[in-house]
Structures are given as structure tokens and as C-alpha cells.
Structure 1
């Protein structure tokens, strides 16, 4: 440190703080939000921590300073952790795998008029027609007669008997059972969120398929609030609201994970987790049992949520190890605040 200028000492101080932050982030998937809800908020900043440490490493490398070892060692230690954030874009993949599944949070097909773009339902339908997935899972679904006619088998769970809003599974394969895990337990209200599942007959095999929509953290709204905040008290309220969302997600993830215990078929999980791959929510559901399709066959950052150039992957395909993941794609189309993802897969012989 003696040979560093005052400016470089300041840079290294900031480097040290963000390096410590990344170390803490490595433990976030193992920290239940109910125990430390405020710490869980750091999950949303993990991409920034990774990019910042990479920038510091490059800064010191260019200057040929040994301080580059701090971020380098931390990134090497967490290499598997960072792989959930970025994948080398030149992987071998087979887009013509035996079967395909698409997930899409369609934001009610623009029923709420969140965008001025015209003919959103027709454009989404056209995209689905073009990609023609064998299985389609939809969050924030609003009644769509075209899709309901296109797929011979379907499971649509509306918010209530008088509602046309909910979640859906569309399939070219028969659905044996249709059940819902409603997130309203222990005086906890899940609002619009829940998980639905069905047993799908694919050839001679039966697969348990989940469509999961975990509690929204309302990130977009809260970030907008932060930009407009004038008082520290209001800032604390925003953080508290987000951390409360993490606690709700933990309860929901526990209910979903509990339902796995009696499943005698291989499982495919599709849906909008409303949280990143660095979270306790993701870790609890995946639990070392499932393959992340993006980690296996994805490329680049593969953000699935449109948040002003911030790479946020919150929509997932998790598949049991009996499946061979052939390809993974994300389609950056402006028809919702989410981007659809498509995975092709085969069943190992």
C-alpha cells in the first residue's frame, strides 16, 4: 500500500468493500430470509458485485499491481457462483431436441395497457406459433382463446371463479392430473401468486410439470420509489418491503419443495421465481436435484426481466437429471416486462 497514490488507496478501499460484499453474497443461498431478511436484499445486487470485482481486477491488472489478487482470488473461489450469471456464449447446442418447453410471463397480454405498443396478444401468439413449443407455461395469464384452441391439453388456474387472470399450462401431451398449491397459509396472503402442477404423459414416460410464480418483490416500482425518495425513512420502508417479499418467497418455496417428496416421476420446473439464481428461493427449490437449463446450455447474461439494461435472470427451467438438456434460448421481445425462454430436451435412455 505504501507505493500506492492516494487515489489508488481510495480505489483499493472501495475494492475491499465490494470484495467483502461478494464473499457475503456467496453465503446468501444458505441464509433463510426469515432469519435475516435485510441481508437477503443483497441478492439483487450480486450481478453488480461480480461486475465491480471484475472491473477492479482489470484495473489493477493494467497497472500491474498485486492488488489485483484480491478480486481475482475471490472470483476464482466463486467461479461456480458466477456461472449462474454469465455463460460462455459459444456452447454446443441442439435446438432440435426431442421435446421443447417455453415459459413466458405475459403480463396479461397488455390487458392493463402498460405499454402503448399495439396488438400485443397477436404478437405473442405469433411468437409462440413460430417457436411452437410442445409445452407452454404462462404466468400472469389472461384468457386467450387462440392459445386455448391451439393446444389440445391445458390447465388454467384463475385467481377466482369470476376472474380471467391466473396461470396456465398448455401441452401437446395429455395431462393426467391438475393441482394447485395456493400460497395462502399461516395468515399469509400470496396475492396473485401460486404454483400449479400436472403429470404429463410424454411418449411412454410420465413427467411431473410445475409452473411456479413466486411472490413479486415489486423491484421496478421500488426502484422508481428510490429515485424519488426525499427522506431516509422512506428509503428504509422500501428495503423493508423488499425484504418482506423475500420472507414470503421462502414460505412459498418451502411449500413447493414439500410437494416434491411424494412425486414418483421425474420433475420439470418452469416459471417466474421473481428472484435470482443467487437467492435462497432458487437454492431451496433447486436443492442440488435439478439442472438449470441456462447453466447447461445458455450463453451470455440471458436476462429474462427488462430492467433498464440490468441483467436480471428471474425466470427458470429446472429439469431432473434424467433429462438431457439440448438447448436454451431467451427471446428479447418487448411484449412484456419478461422475456420468454425456450428449452429443448431429451429423455435419457
Structure 2
């Protein structure tokens, strides 16, 4: 329903998408229970379960390894303001030999070897080994309540131009203490109410921000690579509408879990890479070997069609 119903009309479908890992796990366990209980309803549960294959692949996927040689390597990272070490981020990026680096919540200034800097702001930035032709802001924060940013950068790569769109949608601004339940029914109930009060208005803000980013995608004369921290999970309104007409690089080439935000003990995928049809994702890796932020870096490679 999130593909059709905007949050400003009915936000509760979007709220439901946050619990998808728990809901689908319960569905699978219930199906297995009916199978072992020799109930006919197990056939119905198993059949309807096939409808969830694609939604599940947005969280956990096992694509076949592709043998083609890549033309482009990018890194996307929410840097958390460099609070876990600017040099750690610089050293990691330099070790990866990427062609384009897109940061969200970068706040500080970074210097990557062999890369030129694009014009950025305090939240989203881009660095590239290739020539940056043009840049434009799609979303600009203009108040204390609107903290979303997005910009588009046109880069010439091997004779062709590609549009990179770097997105940071409105954050929910949760602290661990705000979402951690303590077993006290009254206190936990109030926490849940406070969480919902924060989620619903943010979903509605996302709707307008998604529309602004879509304009940059839809009006692009070049193939698009859409990257960033959407502050939204797969199967959400934001996922469906930002990814419309594009390929999810994780679904195309990812292996294992796409969970990228590791600060909570819950599977949360909010970092994404989407591409136009003419760009073939070859690999997508959530690099869990380093902890240089509360997000793991996302590293992806592509084959660019001539």
C-alpha cells in the first residue's frame, strides 16, 4: 500500500513497514508451525508467502557473483559528523580506491587522495576522481524543523555524463533512551506514544522531500545514480517513490544483509544506492569490517554501458 497511499493521506502503512523484519519472521514461523501441525491452511500460508519474496530481497539477498570488470566504484557513508574520527574515515576511503564518494551528515571537512571536491553543505557532500560539470541543490534546510538535504551533481566519466543525487531525508532524531523499553507498562506505553508522535509528522515531511528529489531524477537528461540515507526502510513510501523507475543495487547485486545502521539491536536498512536501467550494478557491499560511524559504509561497483 505504500506504493499507492501517501503519508499525508494515511501514514500508518508507512509505520507498519518499520516492523517488516519482525512481521515476516512471525509469518514464516507460523507457516512452519502449520506445516508440522499438518493443517491445510499451511498451503495457503506458503502460497501467499511467495508474494513477499521481493520485499524480503530488499533486506536480505543472495545475488550470483558477477564476473564483469567494473567501470565505476562508489562509497556512500553517513559519517555521523566525523565523531568517530575524521582520519579513520579518510584512511578508509583512501584504502578503497573509489571513484566517487558521497557523504551524509559529514559536517566536518574531509580530504581524500586524488579526489576533487564538489560544492556541498554541512550535511551532504561529494568527492570525485572525475570532472564535476554542474551541481544543484534539490532540498535545502531552511529551518530548525527541516533538516533534510539533497543535491545533484553531474559528473563526466569516460566521455559520458552521469547525474549523482545525494540524499539525506529528514531524520527522526531518536536517542537510544527514547526507544528502549524498560518493562514498566505505563512508562513503556508513554514511550511508544512519543515514538509515534515523532514518526508520523516526519513521514509527512518526507513526502514533500521525496517529490523534490523525484524532480531531479525525472528531469535528468543523463543516467542517474541515486545514493543516500533515506531515513526510511525498504517497503516504505520513500523507498517505492524514490526508487520508481530505478534499480536497487542491493537487489541486483547484493549478498547477505543490507542492514547498514548498527546503533540499535534491530535490523535497519536506511542507506541505499539506486541506478538508471542503463547502469548495471555488479556488486553491493555493506562493509561491516569497520566502525567509523553509526552507519556501515556502502560500497558498490557498476558496469557503465557505452
Using the TM superposition, give the Cα deviation of residue 130 of structure 1 relative to its aligned residue in structure 2, in angstroms: 1.7
Contact 2:59 2:257 in 1 (8 A): yes
2:203 to 246, 264, 276: 246
Contact 2:80 2:293 in 1 (8 A): yes
Using the TM superposition, give the Cα deviation of residue 121 of structure 1 relative to its aligned residue in structure 2, in angstroms: 2.2
Using the TM superposition, give the Cα deviation of residue 264 of structure 1 relative to its aligned residue in structure 2, in angstroms: 0.7
SS across alignment from 2:20 = helix
Q: Where does residue 123 of structure 2 map in the other structure?
A: 166
Matches within 5 A, 1:205-220: 205-220=160-175
TM-score where L is the length of structure 2 = 0.90
Unaligned runs of 5+ in 1: 1-26, 159-164
1 or 2, which has the higher helix percentage? 1
TM-score where L is the length of structure 1 = 0.80
Cα distance in 2 for partners of 1:98, 1:235 equals 47
Q: Where does residue 318 of structure 1 map in the other structure?
A: 274
Using the TM superposition, give the Cα deviation of residue 166 of structure 1 relative to its aligned residue in structure 2, in angstroms: 2.2
Runs of 4+ in 1 over 6 A off after TM superposition: none
Using the TM superposition, give the Cα deviation of residue 179 of structure 1 relative to its aligned residue in structure 2, in angstroms: 1.4
Q: Where does residue 98 of structure 1 map in the other structure?
A: 71
Q: CA RMSD in A?
A: 2.3
Cα distance in 1 for partners of 2:188, 2:255 equals 41
Matches within 5 A, 1:1-349: 27-88=1-62, 91-94=64-67, 96-110=69-83, 120-147=85-112, 150-158=113-121, 165-184=122-141, 189-191=145-147, 193-221=148-176, 224=179, 226-227=181-182, 230=187, 232-287=189-244, 289-332=245-288, 333-349=290-306
Contact 2:82 2:106 in 1 (8 A): yes
**Number of residue pairs matched by the alignment:** 303
Cα distance in 1 for partners of 2:54, 2:214 equals 23
Per-residue CA distance 1:189-217 (angstroms, 9 max, x = gap): 422x2101111000110001110001112
Using the TM superposition, give the Cα deviation of residue 107 of structure 1 relative to its aligned residue in structure 2, in angstroms: 0.3
Contact 1:183 1:252 in 2 (8 A): no
Cα distance in 1 for partners of 2:106, 2:68 equals 26
Describe the shift of the 1:340–1:232 C-alpha distance in structure 2 as closer, same or farther (beyond 3 A).
same
Using the TM superposition, give the Cα deviation of residue 182 of structure 1 relative to its aligned residue in structure 2, in angstroms: 2.6
Using the TM superposition, give the Cα deviation of residue 223 of structure 1 relative to its aligned residue in structure 2, in angstroms: 5.1
SS across alignment from 2:256 = coil
